[in-house]
Each structure stands twice: as C-alpha cells, then as structure tokens.
C-alpha cells in the first residue's frame, strides 16, 4: 500500500500553543487545581492525556462552583470579557491561550462597534469562538450563519455608517463567499475583512491535492471538531472512499485493501495519533 500524508495537517499554531501552555501550567502548579474553560481541544485522546496529568474541565455556566485561586486556562477559542471578570472575582490565576488570530477579531469587533460602525460576523452561533467574539461587541452587531439570516438582517440607514464583515476563523470559505455576495447585494458599500485563518484554507487545498492522488482518504480528528468535519465533507465530495476516524483502531478493513491511501487531520489532532494511524496502515 502507498500511504500519502497531506502536505499540511494536524495541529495548527493556536491549538499547539494552547496544549503547550496547559502542559506547562500542569508542570508548574503541582498541588494546585488546574482547569480549562471547556474542553481544551476537540480530541478525546489528547484530553485524556491532559486529564491524566491533572487537568480538569469546567464549563462557563458552572464558574460559581470554581474553587478560589484556581489555575484556569482559557482555550484557543477565547472567551467573552464577562468571563474574565468572573475569573478575576474568584482570584483565579488566568492563563490566556486564546489564539492570536481570535484575539485580533475580538479587538476589531470591540473597536468598530464602539466607534458606531456596524459589524456583521459570519459563524456558528454555538461555537465557543463566536460566543467569545460576540461578547466584545457593542449594540451595532449581528451574527449571520446563512443566507436566510442575511435576508432578514435589518440595519437602520446603512448608508450613513460603515458596515464591516468579519468571520469566525475556522469558517468554511465557500459559505463565507456566498454570504459575502449576498451581503454586497444588500449593502453595496460593506467592507469585507476575511478573518478566516489561512491554516483552514491551506488544509482544505492540501486535501484537494491529496484526493486526486489516492484511492481513499482517512480524515483523523475529533467527532466534535468543526474543522475536521469540514475536511471530511471535502474528502467525501472529492474521493470515492473517505472516512472520519479518531484513532487507528477505527480504520475500516476495506481501507487496508486499497492500493493508495491518503491521510489528513484536523487542527486539534496530535502528531502521535497521526503517526499511529500511518503505522497501523503500513
């Protein structure tokens, strides 16, 4: 069997940084309780490894139960400023692992809405990053998930204010392009700032190249990882054999009979899991 890796796959900069900060916090705070606000990354194996070292998970809606003076890691998705306020009232030791690109989006939303510009953000309303960015917005802000949201969007006298379009960093480029086109028809003077992380597009482009070279593609990543799910959708649309797995134990038997198999992985997939899948195939 010929096994090919996508040119770009696995941990993105933001996720790798968050994991490294978490491991450092665990090493430097032995004897203290160390929490992450929600799952640090969308990968069960990586979370199990961190849990074994002592990392606990606490959800934002349970912060009232957080012990005083705990070590708290803000994951790459970031959080709303109100959450930071709650942590400070608990005298928490805050380790901010917010991805720099997400941090930049937070600052832009805060700046533009505070100067009475109108910001439209494309993204998934239930995604942690989107919730965090929205927390920085003033009153002139709308979240758009699809074309139907664009059609129902109503901005008073848009010709008198600056309308600005931003995006969730892991959003689908295709969906963003469709929404951008629809918004431009409604607000011709809209300023578009494509804040999709280049790593997202690079992984998609690398996968498309891979699909043309192999009989089957294995996409490795958490079942709840948005960017991994989008990679799998692309693989299904461009290769006759495609599967989404979380570990080597889930490789379908039929893939072991193919002459060539391609491997890609979501931004939350550790290098060691990618290596285990490759080793199992070979």
**Any idea which residues carry the catalytic annotation?**
129
CB-CB neighbours of 202 under 10 Å: 15
Cα–Cα dist 122/89, whole Å: 32
Residue labelled with tokens 């069997």: 1
Cα–Cα dist 100/103, whole Å: 5
Buried b (16+ CB within 10 A) or exposed e, 31-50: eeebbbbebbbbbbebbeeb
Among 234, 194, 247, residue whose Cα is nearest residue 6: 234
Residue labelled with tokens 């990354």: 41
Cα–Cα dist 136/148, whole Å: 25
Asked if residues 43 and 268 have their Cβ atoms less than 8 Å apart, the reply is yes
**What tokens appear for 78 in the block?**
């970031």
């Amino acid at each position: 069997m010929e096994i090919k890796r996508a040119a770009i796959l696995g941990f993105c900069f933001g996720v790798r940084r968050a994991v490294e900060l978490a491991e450092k916090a665990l090493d430097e705070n032995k004897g203290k309780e160390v929490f992450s606000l929600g799952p640090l990354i969308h990968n069960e194996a990586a979370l199990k490894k961190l849990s074994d070292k002592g990392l606990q998970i606490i959800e934002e809606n349970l912060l009232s139960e957080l012990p005083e003076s705990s070590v708290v890691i803000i994951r790459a998705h970031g959080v709303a400023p109100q959450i930071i306020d709650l942590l400070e009232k608990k005298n928490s030791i805050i380790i901010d692992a917010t991805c720099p690109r997400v941090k930049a989006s937070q600052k832009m939303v805060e700046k533009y809405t505070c100067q009475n510009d109108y910001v439209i953000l494309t993204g998934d309303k239930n995604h942690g990053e989107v919730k965090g960015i929205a927390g920085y917005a003033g009153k002139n802000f709308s979240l758009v998930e699809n074309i139907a949201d664009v059609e129902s969007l109503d901005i008073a006298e848009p010709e008198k204010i600056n309308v600005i379009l931003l995006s969730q960093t892991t959003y689908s480029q295709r969906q963003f392009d469709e929404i951008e086109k629809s918004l431009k028809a409604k607000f011709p003077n809209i300023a578009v700032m494509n804040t999709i992380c280049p790593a997202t597009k690079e992984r998609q482009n690398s996968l498309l190249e891979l699909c043309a070279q192999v009989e089957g593609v294995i996409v490795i990543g958490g079942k709840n990882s948005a960017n991994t799910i989008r990679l799998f959708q692309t693989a299904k649309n461009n290769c006759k054999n495609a599967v989404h797995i979380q570990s080597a134990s889930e490789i379908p038997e039929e893939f072991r009979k193919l002459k060539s198999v391609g491997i890609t992985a979501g931004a939350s997939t550790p290098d060691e899991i990618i290596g285990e899948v490759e080793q199992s195939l070979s």
